[in-house]
Amino acid sequence: MKKLSKPEFARLREKTRLVLAGRDSSDSYGFVNPPIVRGSTVVYPTTEDFLVRKARYSYGTSGSPTIDALLAAAGTMEGGAGVLACSSGLLACTLPTLAFLRAGDHFLVTDSVYHPMRNFCDRMLPRYGVEVTYYDPLIGEGIAELFKPNTRAVWTESPGSQTLEVQDIPAIVAAAHARDIMVMMDNTWATPLHFDAHKFGIDVSVQAGTKYYAGHSDVLIGTVSARTPELYAQLKLSWDALGVIIAAEDAYLTLRGIRTMAVRLKEQMPAGIEMANWLAARPEVARVIHPALPADPGHAIWKRDFTGACSLFSIELQPVTMKAVAAMLDGLTLFGMGASWGGYESLVLPFDCKRYRTATTPGFQGPTIRLHIGLEDLEDLKADLDAGFARLRAAR
């Protein structure tokens, strides 16, 4: 096999790059995959080498071949200046704020933000002198009216957690960049395969690699991608200063997941859409929230900006007691109930975003449920939900 040059590699299509990225069998004793390199100490051959840290890797906290292989694969999808990895998706959200915000700054955060990130913004950022304002995810160019002289960054997440509002990212980026304000985005739902965040001007793109990257519900990991070399350098500075590390096994498993991510999404995206349409036709369902459905309020922007969807969406039931919802969900045999998603298995959970929203009031009348469609046969999943709806009706 002949080695590709960098320009030759860059010319390949994304699917091919995902298979090749981060692999160099001449570095892996001839094996296809990179080795899992564990380690703290790196030894140097001479005093002189040690004094100037002349080595490809200087110490365990500064990286390893396994982690570099993961970053190469993530970077080929993100298309920015550089990617860093950390030990959870939540840390991938919080660390860019430590890297780019300072005391006295104002930070605008979408009201649809992943809830643990809201927790960080409420409990930690004020202690460091950062003022946080939540905004309506559908604000679009109206974001400009919320800018203050000290606004440093806007946090976006599109579609938003649980309620899946699709944000007008180009409008927000245009307004922010006109005032030298950064835009950060949690791009976990679409993954870089289905939303090209940096192409849309997103400065810092975050991915909970725990979801579709790892893809098997067995790893917690996060990645942060920077659009320009300058942004990457500043991000890297904080990374190094904070001592953020990930385990070699987790890097390896995530890289392994990335190899098949395009194939899993190719199966899970239509499965999610088919299930969403099936649910939309159910009398027990008041509304399906899935941007890929033409009836969804976010559909037009999704169609304009995204190249695909994942298999995570929500539904609003017709008004019914929580007892009836529990009767439906507790008896399901194929849908596990639990947080996280993006694995090969189907999941379901009830949620109530009215409890913590501050900038918007979601207009739900009935209980809301989030579903993640895995790789099971759809007919089996429908039968499981069908029996669940029968329990719901009986308990009403």
Which parts of this chain interact with ligand PLP (CB under 6 A)?
88-90, 93, 114, 157, 161, 186, 188, 208, 210-211, 220, 222, 340
CB of 193 to ligand PLP, least distance (A): 16
CA 21: distance to chain centroid? 20
Cα separation, 211 vs 341, in Å, equals 6
Taking the least distance from each CB to ligand PLP, the nearer of 85 and 327 is 85
The tokens 């950062």 sit on which residue? 130
Distance between CA atoms of 258 and 213, rounded to whole angstroms?
A: 5
Residue 4: φ, ψ to 5°: -80, 145
**Contact (Cβ atoms closer than 8 angstroms) between residue 157 and residue 186:** yes
The distance of closest approach from Cβ of residue 276 to ligand PLP in the complex, given in angstroms and rounded to an integer, is 18
Could you tell me the smallest distance in angstroms from the CB atom of residue 246 to ligand PLP? 11
Report the nearest approach of ligand PLP to the CB of residue 65 (Å): 23
Pairing of the two strands 222-226 and 285-289: unpaired
Residue 367 gets the label, from left (phi > 0), alpha (psi -120 to 50) or beta, of: beta
Q: Which is nearer to ligand PLP, 90 or 265 (CB)?
A: 90
CB of residue 91 vs ligand PLP: minimum separation in angstroms?
Answer: 7
Compare residues 200 and 320 and give the one whose CB is closer to ligand PLP.
200
Task: Please name the residue that has the structure tokens 């957690």.
Answer: 161
Report in angstroms how near the CB of residue 50 gets to ligand PLP at its nearest: 36
List all residues 6 or more positions away from 257 whose beta carbon is below 8 Å from its beta carbon. 212, 213, 214, 215, 216, 219
78 versus 186: smaller Cβ distance to ligand PLP: 186
Positive or negative: CA dihedral 357, 361, 364, 366: positive
Nearer to ligand PLP, 142 or 336 (CB): 336
Q: How far is the CB of 150 from ligand PLP (least distance, A)?
A: 26
- The edge-to-edge listing of strands for the beta sheet with 131-135 is 82-86, 222-226, 204-207, 182-186, 151-157, 106-110, 131-135
Residue whose CB is nearest to ligand PLP in the complex, by number:
89
Query: In this structure, which amino acid lies at residue 235?
Result: L
Given the complex with ligand PLP, which of 211 and 227 has the nearer CB atom? 211
Between 21 and 164, CB nearer to ligand PLP: 164
